[in-house]
A and B are shown apart, each in its own frame.
Chain A
Amino acid sequence: MNILIKTLGFSLALILTFTAVSYVLPQMKGEAPVEKEMDVGALTMDSFIAMGKDLYQGKGTCTLCHNQLGRAPDLLALNVEKTSLERLADSRYQGKAKNTEGYLRESMLEPNIYVVKGFGKKGTNDAESPMPAIDKPPAQLSQVEIDAIIAFLQHKDGNKVTVALPTKTSLPAAAEEKTAPAKPALAQSPEEAIAKFGCAACHSILKTESTVGPNLNDVGKRLSIAQIRESIIAPGTVIAEGYPPIMPDLSEKMTTKELEIMAQFLAQQKTKTQP
């Protein structure tokens, strides 16, 4: 018993020591990026630039590489305008950009087009950039967010900001739902959605019949809800046998909410004909 207590005590003391180390080190929480609602009407160039700064340091994860440790050009330390013009004048430059704004955007969207000398991936002789395309996951910035960063980078050295403030149409899809009242009214029920997008023209659904496309009254039996969603937003990927590929692509016309209403409804359609 004595030995049990001694060994246990020793082990616990050691464990507590390790725990104590975790207590004395700096305590930080890494929050996941929050999708912010953007109020286009109230947006000024100043707040747009501030937004770019936030994105640069946070969601965009730019500072992870672009810092004073030499992993990537320290964009905050150099004059971005001047640097961009130098890059464009470089004989190695193969891209299409004509000015600073274009160069910055190109650098973010297609980093491999021009890789700053000495910064390429190891072994690729500066043909491949370690920098990820910033509109792709994990950073996944929208066009507007990229514009905001460009505005911030141009502004920080007192250079002229050439990007335009976002307009309602340039907003990302997620914000669209809230801020684009000019669009046709949102469908609130499956019936409204079916009417709005004209599904019944080709499919048997609700009380009407059509044989141009597959019968949807039993689609819930045939497809999972995820497959239904996909058939709506990417109809070309899989085409039901025996039918022509004429289903319209609704991905840009539907809001996510409408898609969800529709998919939920269809997933429940499990009988051949409507009772």
Chain B
Amino acid sequence: MKSVLYFPLLWTWRRVLLVLMTAIIGLGAGGFPFTASAADPAQEQQITAADSGGITGETKASLILAPKLKRADYPNIGVSSRAIVWVVAQMHLFFGALVLAVPIFVLVIEFIGFKTNDDRYDDMAHEFMKISLTAYAITALFGGTLALSLFLLYPDFMNYMMRVFGSQMLVYAVLFFLESMLLYIYYYGWNALRYGNSKWVHLTLGLLLNAVGTTLLVVANSWTTFMMAPSGVDSAGAVIGNIWEIMKGPLWNPLNLHRFIANVAFGGAVVGAYAAFKFLCAKTAADKAHYDWMGYTSNFIAILAFLPLPFAGYWLMAEIYAYSQQMGILAMGGILAWLFVIQAVLICTILFAGNYYLWSGMARTEGSERYQWLIKYIAVVLVFGFLVWVTPHNVIFTTNEIAKLGGGHHPVLGPLGIMPAKNIAVFLMLIFTFLSFQIYRRADKVITVSWQAWGNTLMAAIYIVACANVIFAGVYYGYFTNTVYKVGSSVMQVASTLAVIVAGSVIDTLMFKGAKTLPSSWGKVSDRSQYALFALPVAFTWLMALMGYVRSSVRTHWHVYTVMKDNSPDNFIPTLATVGNTVTFATVLFLIFLLFIFWIANLSGIKQKPPVSAGKIVPAESAA
């Protein structure tokens, strides 16, 4: 009896939730067109734009300045409005990131499975999507709650944003519906469109899903970047540009890139934790092998996406500096700079976990013995890198702040606390993480190409030159020149690091031609290594919340930087402990929801045995 009810029940539950949430979002988005468009036609008849000032007919109705709010204009519900919106927005971002990221690599994995005719890939891709699907309902839940709380707690600000972005918000709503449809068809159509030409249809659906998802991301990003670096409005906040000019602010593309890559890394890390969890629970050798392999693939995705992140991060930061020095310095050198010490701890956790997992994974094959000796050197570099990186910065304070701290300089570690030293550490850590990655990939191969010795020498030379470059650039620009902009050093360091990654990938690909693959015994990794797969998403989640906070906080007491002041009771920059608490709260909440998702995903895979009583006809089960 029960087995028949299970699936429909679960389905209905999900659907109800989804419908509810989309309704809420619809309400949120719908509130706007109502207020604005109701007023529009009347205005257009009465007002004609003055010719001067370059105001076009199209925009005349929006010539409304950003409101100047007083404290009393903000609804007060007794609890900090910022704290509420902060946590809810962060939850929405976590799940949004997951939901947008998973289909990206699922599509790639599906394609690999299709090309290699290996069903393992296809099954794994399908299993990943299962996680994304439940996460989607929760994304909508938090999206709706976010819209609701913003409209309730910051009505005037939201009103202004609605006026600026106008119909673009409608586009967002439409995209959201498209995304829902595609996601459901993509997941539930998986088995129906599994082979032959149908597979192409399915792959196309996946591509569409990702196209819509990425568009959603960049549209939502434009709200964020508008608040940081408004464009398309004049200094009083009146809209003078079209929607494209409003969206295409100076920080839009850097943020798009950084978030896109970060999302993929984040998504990979989360499904890696899922695999690790299943691995630890697995009873049979076959299950262990499957989830070991799944964990490995997830980690591969996460680390691969993670490696270019710092570059995207530097680009974003450079654009922030270019837009406003004040904002850049505030983030990296002012009161917020201490946050980057935590960032260092978090990123190093990620690097340690990623490397440790790779080293443990080498035990799967005997061929790894050839490379074991390298591990200790990599470990040393990572530890030293970590120590330099977390050495407190030379931070700039107002005099009061310095007095409170008893001096802004670190007396002993001073020279290690400046940016170039940190850059050396960061880039060396990245290079050596790539080395781990490379020896891992080589562990199960016996290379047969004739130019093997020559290729290895070249590779070693590239490593040496790159490290030397990174160190030289850091030391030279950092200590021996007095340029105001020490950015010059990072250009050389970035180029060297990228060169290693690119050259390493190319050389290996060529070398692996015709290489013998040694047997790998999947499932033969230590349980302990699986905890690295938990450390990764935990650190990532915390990092994401922290950096999102930094991004938001550099606006200081502005809703929209330089255009609309924030006069709410929460317009100050909170202490780090407050930030830590809030970020931890959001992360733990995310963890709880995540476990729930894992549980649901697990549940749908459990089939109760039909009761064996002679003579009864057991109803046939529909395929999931």
Contact of B577 among A4, A8, A22, A237 (CB under 8 A): A22
B residues 538-594 with Cβ under 8 Å of A?
Answer: 538-539, 542, 556-558, 561-563, 566, 571-577, 579-581, 583-584, 587-588, 591
Return the CB mask of A1-34 against B: 1 if under 8 Å, else 0: 0011011101110111011011101111111110
Total interface residues in chain A, CB < 8 Å: 61
CB within 8 Å for A65 and B325 given contacts A30-B573, A137-B235: yes
Does A138 make an interface contact (CB < 8 A)? Answer: yes
Does B324 make an interface contact (CB < 8 A)? Answer: yes
CB distance from A198 to the nearest CB of B (A): 23
B residues 441-498 with Cβ under 8 Å of A?
Answer: 482, 484-485, 487
Contacts of B573 in A (CB 8 A): 28-31
Contacts of B53 in A (CB 8 A): 237
B538-A15 in contact (CB<8A): yes
Interface of B is mostly: helix
B558-A63 in contact (CB<8A): no
Look across to chain A and name the residue whose beta carbon is closest to the beta carbon of B557. A32
Instruction: Give the complex CA separation of A238 and B63 in angstroms.
Output: 8
B572-A64 in contact (CB<8A): no
Contacts of B324 in A (CB 8 A): 132, 138
Contacts of A14 in B (CB 8 A): 349, 534-535, 538-539
B394-A69 in contact (CB<8A): yes
CB distance from A174 to the nearest CB of B (A): 11
Q: List 14 A-B contacts (CB under 8 A).
A: A3-B277, A7-B531, A14-B349, A14-B534, A15-B538, A15-B587, A19-B581, A22-B576, A30-B335, A31-B573, A32-B572, A71-B484, A230-B63, A239-B47
Instruction: Give the complex CA separation of A70 and B481 in angstroms.
Output: 12
A22-B485 in contact (CB<8A): no
CB distance from A89 to the nearest CB of B (A): 23
Does A223 make an interface contact (CB < 8 A)? Answer: yes
Does B281 make an interface contact (CB < 8 A)? Answer: yes
Return the CB mask of A30-62 against B: 1 if under 8 Å, else 0: 111100000000000000000000000110010
Does A236 make an interface contact (CB < 8 A)? Answer: yes
* Contacts A29-B572, A238-B47, A238-B60 supplied; 18 other A-B pairs, CB < 8 Å: A11-B591, A15-B538, A18-B345, A18-B584, A19-B583, A21-B342, A22-B577, A22-B579, A22-B581, A64-B334, A138-B556, A227-B63, A236-B50, A237-B50, A237-B53, A238-B48, A238-B50, A240-B46
Does A125 make an interface contact (CB < 8 A)? Answer: no
B residues 46-92 with Cβ under 8 Å of A?
Answer: 46-50, 52-53, 55, 60, 63-65, 67
B572-A31 in contact (CB<8A): yes
Does A252 make an interface contact (CB < 8 A)? Answer: no
Look across to chain A and name the residue whose beta carbon is closest to the beta carbon of B401. A28
Does A105 make an interface contact (CB < 8 A)? Answer: no
Look across to chain A and name the residue whose beta carbon is closest to the beta carbon of B335. A30
Instruction: Give the complex CA separation of A224 and B62 in angstroms.
Output: 11
Contacts of A69 in B (CB 8 A): 333, 394, 396
A25-B576 in contact (CB<8A): yes
Does A136 make an interface contact (CB < 8 A)? Answer: yes
A27-B277 in contact (CB<8A): no
Contacts of A130 in B (CB 8 A): 325
A122-B280 in contact (CB<8A): no
A222-B43 in contact (CB<8A): yes
Instruction: Give the complex CA separation of A109 and B330 in angstroms.
Output: 21
CB distance from B73 to the nearest CB of A (A): 12
Does A67 make an interface contact (CB < 8 A)? Answer: yes
A residues 231-261 with Cβ under 8 Å of B?
Answer: 236-241, 245
B584-A15 in contact (CB<8A): yes
Does B398 make an interface contact (CB < 8 A)? Answer: yes
Total interface residues in chain B, CB < 8 Å: 78
Does A87 make an interface contact (CB < 8 A)? Answer: no
By CB atoms of chain A within 10 A, which of B561, B566, B588 has the most? B588
B580-A136 in contact (CB<8A): no
Instruction: Give the complex CA separation of A31 and B531 in angstroms.
Output: 41
Instruction: Give the complex CA separation of A132 and B324 in angstroms.
Output: 8
6 A-B pairs with least C-beta separation: A22-B580, A30-B573, A32-B557, A137-B562, A27-B575, A32-B571
Contacts of A27 in B (CB 8 A): 575-577
Does A221 make an interface contact (CB < 8 A)? Answer: yes
A230-B542 in contact (CB<8A): no
A29-B345 in contact (CB<8A): no
Instruction: Give the complex CA separation of A136 and B234 in angstroms.
Output: 12
Contact of A29 among B399, B563, B574 (CB under 8 A): B574
Contacts of A70 in B (CB 8 A): 482, 484
Instruction: Give the complex CA separation of A148 and B253 in angstroms.
Output: 41
Instruction: Give the complex CA separation of A161 and B579 in angstroms.
Output: 44
CB distance from B420 to the nearest CB of A (A): 13
CB distance from B391 to the nearest CB of A (A): 13
CB within 8 Å for A119 and B330 given contacts A15-B588, A29-B574: no
B49-A238 in contact (CB<8A): yes
Look across to chain A and name the residue whose beta carbon is closest to the beta carbon of B66. A226
CB within 8 Å for A64 and B584 given contacts A58-B398, A122-B487, A238-B60: no
CB distance from B434 to the nearest CB of A (A): 24
Contacts of A12 in B (CB 8 A): 588, 591
A122-B47 in contact (CB<8A): no
Does A184 make an interface contact (CB < 8 A)? Answer: no
CB distance from B140 to the nearest CB of A (A): 25
Does A181 make an interface contact (CB < 8 A)? Answer: no
Instruction: Give the complex CA separation of A58 and B334 in angstroms.
Output: 12
Contacts of B535 in A (CB 8 A): 10, 14
Instruction: Give the complex CA separation of A25 and B404 in angstroms.
Output: 13
Contacts of A71 in B (CB 8 A): 325, 329, 484
Does B39 make an interface contact (CB < 8 A)? Answer: yes
Does B346 make an interface contact (CB < 8 A)? Answer: yes
A230-B47 in contact (CB<8A): no
CB distance from B163 to the nearest CB of A (A): 9
Look across to chain A and name the residue whose beta carbon is closest to the beta carbon of B571. A32
CB distance from B26 to the nearest CB of A (A): 24
B534-A11 in contact (CB<8A): yes
Contact of B580 among A18, A31, A118, A222 (CB under 8 A): A18
Does B338 make an interface contact (CB < 8 A)? Answer: yes
Contacts of B49 in A (CB 8 A): 238
Instruction: Give the complex CA separation of A25 and B390 in angstroms.
Output: 11
Look across to chain A and name the residue whose beta carbon is closest to the beta carbon of B579. A22
